[in-house]
Structure 1
Amino acid sequence: MYKNLLLVEDEPLAQARIRSILQKNYPTWTFEEPIQTVKDLKSALIMQASYDLILCDIHLADGLSFNAFKDVEVKVPIIFITAFDQYALQSFEHNCIDYVLKPIQEERLIRAIEKFRTLSKEGTASSISKEFVEEFLGKYAQKNFKKRFLTRSGNRLCFIPADSAAYFFAEDGVTFLIESGSSQKHIVDHSLNELEKDLLDPNKFYRINRSVIINLDYLIEMRPYVNGRLAISLNAKSDDQLIVAREKVSEFKSWINQ
């Protein structure tokens, strides 16, 4: 069945990724040039009746896309695309069609679209309400990532900005922060799970294996390693060998390209 989509996404690489997946799996579906701002999304929603589905990033160039929904009833089903923490979003699963986390995985996006197709056939595909928008914006605004860490190195305590952390690693139950351009280990009182799930911005930090979380801003190079893994180098004066686990290589490459 012919479908016309509205793509709301301001990142060129993400636009290309979504286009590629749609053209491969739904070659008869059409979509115009992507909407990149809240302002343009508001204008597009005036003509929402011409669209069957909206694929919508949450973070746009001029703010959250949800700000475009506050004064209009959105009747078109929406699949949200976001780097936002899935645990904060899980309470909204029953209020919208679906959401896809970045980095965008083809299988996950296809699953969301197939969910939309199934609901459309059953006549149960629904839109989001103004109450949902208000609740979402309220909860979303509460999500604040860690800006600095109080660390210990010997008897010395100091604050290190999160943006200065080249990577975190865990060893013998202790979590260490390695600062960019430094070889000194700083102890932080958070587990890697806490850092990954709640404290670090997922647009900047990525857990490459069970023991290491890196900061993309300090990635210098990556090269093939044994058994399908990747060895990476960061801007840090450390002899630690940083290896991307084999099962994470594909996702890691997609994450870098966002």
Structure 2
Amino acid sequence: MKAVIIEDEEIIAKVLQNKIRNVDPSVEIVEIIPSLKVAKKWFLNNAEPDLLFMDIQLSDGVSFELLEHFKLNCPIVFTTAYDEYAIRAFKVNGVDYLLKPVDEEELRRAIDKCKAIIEKRNPVIADFTELMKALANPQQQIQKYKEKFIVNIRNQWMPVNTSDIACFTKETLNYIYLFNGERYMLDFSTLDDVEEVLDPNRFYRANRQYIINIDAVQTVKPMENSKLTIRLKDPNHKFEIDMSREKAPVFKKWLDR
């Protein structure tokens, strides 16, 4: 099965290619396309692939524009860092997706799903017009993020505004650090549970131990092997948070808006 990747971040594209090779060697990546402009030229001169992996936000535009120029019948898997409201839009409109950084097990399921579509020779039914409307108008999507957290202090409960939280950490237990430096134990079992109720436009899961508020970031330092070290603003400057090479390009896009 021949596949094409459309992704403007070279590292992410190569990582995705390697993961595809790992989970299903029968999928051959015939081209990695770095921009919308190059994609348009490629599809003018080449046959449609069996499968397409496509980032949404490219450096020179939104990849949906490609679907306005070409009628593609192959299964499309979007790779995206969009938040939960958009993910619901993907589900409703019959499109498959993978959240960055891509998990190999989720990738395997997506490829299997696409293979089933191809084997049945069913056309891909996806309402891209409605999908684009949903992505363009997030205020129309019903989404509730957690506005307060209950913390334990001297055997009492105390509400804390989410906007006052600089970061969430996984130590022996889960804690929050406020912008004023105060630390409180959090009554959540895992940071995965915390991440699900946070606004992804404000909070980012840097690694297994930290979720950070965008307003708490002081500096970001590139390290060896394209990794990053994030330092938070005073009085939480003691935190130097490492971020993997794979997450770095996605984090940069999240931060640079």
8 Å Cα contact 1:35/1:41 also seen in 2: yes
Aligned equivalent of 2:247: 255
Aligned equivalent of 1:106: 104
Q: Per the alignment, in what secondary structure is the counterpart of residue 78 of structure 2?
A: strand
1: CA distance, partners of 2:8 / 2:240: 31
Alignment of 1:209-220 (within 5 A): 212-215=211-214, 218-219=219-220
Find the partner of 1:139 among 134, 138, 143. 134
Deviations 1:176-217 (A, max 9, x none): 1559xxx9639xxxxx779833642x7xx3266799524477
> How much has 1:252 moved relative to structure 2?
6.8
Q: Per the alignment, in what secondary structure is the counterpart of residue 68 of structure 2?
A: coil
**Cα distance change, pair 44–24 in 1 and its aligned pair in 2 (3 A):** same
TM-score, normalisation: structure 1: 0.63
8 Å Cα contact 1:41/1:65 also seen in 2: no
2: CA distance, partners of 1:28 / 1:89: 28
Output the amino acid matched with 2:205.
Y
Moved more, 10-19 or 41-50: 41-50
2: CA distance, partners of 1:106 / 1:199: 25
TM-score, normalisation: structure 2: 0.63
Output the amino acid matched with 2:219.
Y
2: CA distance, partners of 1:221 / 1:72: 39
Alignment of 1:11-160 (within 5 A): 11-47=9-45, 49-93=47-91, 95-124=93-122, 126=124, 128=126, 132-143=127-138
Output the amino acid matched with 2:120.
E
8 Å Cα contact 2:20/2:107 also seen in 1: no
> How much has 1:142 moved relative to structure 2?
2.3
Aligned length: 205
8 Å Cα contact 1:82/1:99 also seen in 2: yes
Q: Per the alignment, in what secondary structure is the counterpart of residue 33 of structure 2?
A: coil
Aligned equivalent of 2:170: none
Fraction of identical pairs, as percent: 24
Aligned equivalent of 1:6: 4
Which runs of 5 or more structure 2 residues have no equivalent in the other structure?
A: 140-148, 152-157, 168-177, 182-193, 224-228, 251-257
**Cα distance change, pair 43–220 in 1 and its aligned pair in 2 (3 A):** closer
**Cα distance change, pair 221–36 in 1 and its aligned pair in 2 (3 A):** closer
**Cα distance change, pair 85–235 in 1 and its aligned pair in 2 (3 A):** closer
8 Å Cα contact 2:98/2:107 also seen in 1: yes
Q: Per the alignment, in what secondary structure is the counterpart of residue 136 of structure 1?
A: helix
2: CA distance, partners of 1:253 / 1:234: 17
Deviations 1:21-59 (A, max 9, x none): 122233343223411222222223335644100000001
**Cα distance change, pair 252–195 in 1 and its aligned pair in 2 (3 A):** farther
The question of 1:238 aligning with 2:240 is answered: no
1: CA distance, partners of 2:74 / 2:39: 13
Which runs of 5 or more structure 1 residues have no equivalent in the other structure?
A: 145-168, 187-191, 223-231
Deviations 1:64-92 (A, max 9, x none): 10012113322121111110113323233
8 Å Cα contact 1:9/1:56 also seen in 2: yes
Deviations 1:140-171 (A, max 9, x none): 12248xxxxxxxxxxxxxxxxxxxxxxxx985
8 Å Cα contact 1:42/1:69 also seen in 2: no
1: CA distance, partners of 2:99 / 2:46: 24
Moved more, 119-128 or 71-80: 119-128
1: CA distance, partners of 2:35 / 2:230: 35
The question of 1:173 aligning with 2:159 is answered: yes
